[in-house]
Chains A and B, each alone.
Chain A
Amino acid sequence: AQTVTQSQPEMSVQEAETVTLSCTYDTSESDYYLFWYKQPPSRQMILVIRQEAYKQQNATENRFSVNFQKAAKSFSLKISDSQLGDAAMYFCAYRSGENTGANSKLTFGKGITLSVRP
Chain B
Amino acid sequence: NAGVTQTPKFQVLKTGQSMTLQCAQDMNHEYMSWYRQDPGMGLRLIHYSVGAGITDQGEVPNGYNVSRSTTEDFPLRLLSAAPSQTSVYFCASSSALGSGGTDTQYFGPGTRLTVL
Binding site for B on A (CB under 8 A): 4, 6, 9, 33, 42-45, 47, 50, 91, 93, 97, 100-111
Q: Kindly list chain B residues whose C-beta atoms are within 8 Å of the C-beta of A101.
A: 31, 48, 50, 56
Give me the interface of B with A, judged by CB distance under 8 Å: 31-33, 35, 40-45, 48-50, 56, 58, 88, 90, 92, 94-97, 103-105, 107, 109-110
Give Cα A104 to B50, complex, Å. 7
Instruction: Decide: A106 and B95 in contact? CB cutoff 8 A.
Output: no
| Residues in B whose Cβ lies below 8 Å from that of A50 | 104
A105 contacts B48, C-beta separation under 8 Å: yes
* Majority secondary structure, B binding face: strand
Quote the shortest CB–CB distance from B55 to chain A (angstroms). Answer: 10
Query: In the complex the two chains form, what is the Cα distance from A50 to B50 in whole Å?
Result: 22
Q: Which of the residues A33, A44, A47, A108 comes within 8 Å of B42, measured between beta carbons?
A: A108
Looking at chain A's contact residues, the main secondary structure is: loop
Residue of chain B at shortest CB distance from A46: B107
Residues of chain B with a CB closer than 8 A to A91's CB: 42-43
Please give, as numbers and ranges, the residues of chain A lying within 8 Å of B48 by CB-CB distance: 101, 104-105
Q: How far is the CA of A106 from the CA of B88 in the complex (A)?
A: 17
Q: Name the contact of B90 in the complex, choosing from A4, A45, A97 (C-beta under 8 A).
A: A45
Docked CA distance A109–B109 (Å): 19
Q: Which of A4, A100, A106 contacts B45 (CB 8 A)?
A: A106
12 contacts between A and B (CB under 8 A): A4-B42, A43-B88, A43-B110, A93-B43, A103-B95, A104-B32, A104-B92, A105-B33, A105-B48, A106-B45, A110-B41, A111-B42
**A-B contact sample (14 more), CB < 8 A, given A101-B56, A103-B31, A111-B42:** A9-B40, A47-B104, A47-B105, A91-B43, A101-B48, A103-B97, A104-B31, A104-B50, A104-B94, A105-B45, A108-B42, A108-B43, A110-B40, A110-B41
